[in-house]
Amino acid sequence: MAHELVALETEGWHALSTGPEEATAFYDRVLAREPVIMLTNGLRITDRSQIIASMGGPPWTSFEIIEPLETYLGPDVGFLTYKVRADRDGTPYTALLSSVYAREDGEWKLALHQHTPY
């Protein structure tokens, strides 16, 4: 199980850095059936299709995942916390992120994701 969640999260950032089609396709595949996303502007989204659509924005120019900590609560639930340093067309972004993954039908699915700017 080691580093599975870091790999998934990195794949997500790569999709978000490639373009809207790649990002929405990735999150359509990885998002849980009943997800929750908590964003920096105080927005909480629980509608799966709305979350997927929100991932189709302008791509990130660059990103760096810093100090990832992957923890498992059992064979079917794990969480990842890390810092991210990213850039979108010259605008820097830094945040603390947490992602909770749960297995659905034998695959890791993103159930909860939260950004806290710093």
User: Who's near 107: CB < 8 A, 6+ residues apart?
Assistant: none
The residue among 1 and 75 whose pLDDT is bigger is 75
Mean pLDDT (the chain, rounded): 96
Q: At residue 54, does pLDDT exceed 70?
A: yes
Q: At residue 98, does pLDDT exceed 80?
A: yes
- pTM for this entry: 0.94
- What average pLDDT does the segment 48-60 reach? 95
Q: At residue 21, does pLDDT exceed 90?
A: yes
Tell me, what's the pLDDT at 118? 85
- Contact in structure between 98 and 113 (CB atoms under 8 Å): yes
Tell me, what's the pLDDT at 51? 96
Q: At residue 41, does pLDDT exceed 90?
A: no
Tell me, what's the pLDDT at 47? 97
Measured torsion, CA atoms of residues 62, 84, 76, 102, in degrees rounded to the nearest 10: -70
Q: Closest Cα partner for 59 from 14, 10, 99? A: 14
- Contact in structure between 48 and 31 (CB atoms under 8 Å): yes
